[in-house]
Structure 1
């Protein structure tokens, strides 16, 4: 019998799309921050972990402000060309906002910022598609780190296992992943079970702007490259 369409519950909490007002809010926030902080940095990131980044941002909220999101919106905030930049030289910063990047506005000294970014590393479990940093191979024999209830799950991940007197055994050697090759969904799950972390969340400085000067951190890039970008 077909289900009745009457008295169907309707949710009133639909999420609105981020429109013009949201973008204008970001633009205004960035422009206000430009007036508040002494220097501006563009940074790139790899293996982003939102929770860890949030913790890092909270540690420096009294002296600094981070912005992540649409590169185009951030570019508009600063000015994409010399003719529309909100402070002299900011169009150079704008041109370097591409790919996985963000803005860091701060009152910290240059030396302190460089130290923070150079020392920051957070290790985490690698996700599907991440390039393996090492080869992991399990040898034939008992896998005493796993309980017997996990045998069906391990078998679904492609591991040649069996139960022997309540102990999971590998019937033959098994390569979980190979160095330099992308991780499959099964490989990433097994590595997590093994406690093997192959992803490193890092932040890299690209450039620094202040009212007095502009500096590039990325090797092989100079100001003429920025002007012609």
Structure 2
């Protein structure tokens, strides 16, 4: 009688002893989720914000479970090939676990989940290290939106400023960031002062798997 896929041994020979128990536990949790939930989505983040993702978890807390990070362990749990996959077609999900991504197990309707994430876009302040989506420039002259007390901070960040009768002035035209270039720490702080939100938190669904249809790409 052929051996069930669910009887496959977990191979974690390369992990350290102190983390082995945790990783074996994660494998078990993932396999239990496969058994419990009919649908699995692979998702990836754009401009990850932990506080924003908490809202996503709250939205689906009654009927879903999320796993994030530890791509290799998740792949081991699902199976990296057709020979060791935990359920039919799951090895194809494992192949998509690259970079900043995760798995959503859910009882929710497939179309409802897809529509929710397509509409989920939340603007936020850009962090240092991301690519600027546009160029932001300030013209020479008064910056009346700022209190005079922040002038030393702006000058320290590299802005050519001076106080004129208690009002902060730019002494020359100043480029805060340039489209297509990496935002520097000082630029990120200036953008926050200016309340310019150039970053958009978004969760992109890469693929969908169900016990009845197998894996499907999400356009």
- The alignment's TM-score, normalised by the length of structure 2, stands at 0.88
1:134 corresponds in structure 2 to: 134
For residues 20 and 48 of structure 2, what CA distance do their matches in structure 1 show? Answer: 27
Native 8 Å contact 1:206 1:216 kept in 2: no
Native 8 Å contact 1:43 1:206 kept in 2: yes
CA RMSD of aligned residues (A): 1.5
**Secondary structure class of the residue paired with 2:137:** strand
How big is each residue's C-alpha offset from its partner over 1:92-120, in whole Å with a ceiling of 9 and x where there is no partner? 11111111211011111111111112111
1:159 corresponds in structure 2 to: 159
Shift in Å, 1:135: 1.4
Matches within 5 A, 1:205-216: 205-216=205-216
How big is each residue's C-alpha offset from its partner over 1:46-84, in whole Å with a ceiling of 9 and x where there is no partner? 111011101211210111111001100100111111222
2:44 corresponds in structure 1 to: 44
**Secondary structure class of the residue paired with 2:192:** helix
Matches within 5 A, 1:1-229: 19-217=19-217
**Secondary structure class of the residue paired with 1:108:** coil
**Secondary structure class of the residue paired with 1:19:** helix
For residues 18 and 170 of structure 1, what CA distance do their matches in structure 2 show? Answer: 56
For residues 214 and 203 of structure 1, what CA distance do their matches in structure 2 show? Answer: 22
Shift in Å, 1:218: 5.7
Native 8 Å contact 2:208 2:218 kept in 1: no
1:14 corresponds in structure 2 to: none
Shift in Å, 1:25: 1.8
For residues 216 and 206 of structure 1, what CA distance do their matches in structure 2 show? Answer: 9
How big is each residue's C-alpha offset from its partner over 1:108-143, in whole Å with a ceiling of 9 and x where there is no partner? 111111111211111110011211112111111111
**Secondary structure class of the residue paired with 2:104:** strand
Native 8 Å contact 2:92 2:215 kept in 1: no
Native 8 Å contact 2:78 2:94 kept in 1: yes
Shift in Å, 1:211: 1.4
How many residues of Structure 1 are paired with residues of Structure 2 in the alignment? 203
For residues 47 and 217 of structure 2, what CA distance do their matches in structure 1 show? Answer: 20
For residues 18 and 121 of structure 1, what CA distance do their matches in structure 2 show? Answer: 39
Shift in Å, 1:23: 1.0
